[in-house]
Amino acid sequence: MTATEPSHLILGATMPNGTTADVLIQGEVIAAVGTDAADRADEATVRIEAAGRVLLPGLVDLHTHLREPGKEDAETVETGTRAAAMGGFTSVHAMANSTPVADTAGVVEQVWQLGQEAGWCDVHPVGAVTVGLAGEQLAELGAMAQSRAQVRMFSDDGMCVQDPVLMRRALEYVKAFDGFIAQHAQEPKLTAGAQMNEGELSSMLGLAGWPAVAEEAIIARDVLLAQHVGSRLHVCHVSTAGSVEIIRWAKERGIEVTAEATPHHLLLTEELVRTYNPVFKVNPPLRRESDVMALREGLADGTIDTIGTDHAPHTAETKECEWTVAAMGMTGLETALPVVQHALVDTGLMDWAGVARVMSVNPARIARLETQGQMDPDGGLAAGAPAHLALYDPNITRTVDPETHTTKSRNSPYRGMELPGQITDVFYGGHPVVRDRALSAPRQHR
- State the catalytic residues: 310
Closest-CA residue to 115 (of 143, 157, 148, 73) = 148
Going 175 to 176 to 180 to 185, the CA torsion angle's sign is negative
Q: Are 166 and 183 in contact (CB under 8 A)?
A: no
Calpha distance 313→334 (Å, rounded): 12
Residues 6+ apart with CB under 8 A from 189: none
Calpha distance 266→432 (Å, rounded): 30
Q: Is 421 exposed, middle or buried (0-12, 13-18, 19+ CB in 10 A)?
A: buried
67 is in an annotated binding site: yes
65 is in an annotated binding site: yes
Calpha distance 284→328 (Å, rounded): 9
Calpha distance 48→51 (Å, rounded): 9
Calpha distance 145→174 (Å, rounded): 9
228 is in an annotated binding site: no
Separation of CA 270 from chain center: 22
388 is in an annotated binding site: no
Q: Name the phi and psi angles at 2, rounded to 5.
A: -100, 160
63 is in an annotated binding site: yes
184 is in an annotated binding site: yes
Closest-CA residue to 412 (of 268, 294, 289) = 268
169 is in an annotated binding site: no
66 is in an annotated binding site: yes
310 is in an annotated binding site: yes
Calpha distance 201→53 (Å, rounded): 42
138 is in an annotated binding site: no
Residues facing 123 on adjacent strands: 92
157 is in an annotated binding site: yes
**Helix ranges (DSSP H) in 287-396:** 289-300, 316-319, 336-340, 352-356, 362-366
Q: Are 273 and 280 in contact (CB under 8 A)?
A: yes
Calpha distance 199→269 (Å, rounded): 13
Residues facing 8 on adjacent strands: 25, 46
Taking CA 416 as the corner, what is the angle to CA 413 and CA 421, rounded to the nearest 5 degrees? 90
Q: Is 368 exposed, middle or buried (0-12, 13-18, 19+ CB in 10 A)?
A: middle
Cite the annotated binding site by residue number.
Answer: 63, 65-67, 97, 157, 184, 237, 283, 310, 314
Cite the annotated binding site for Zn(2+) by residue number.
Answer: 63, 65, 157, 184, 237, 310
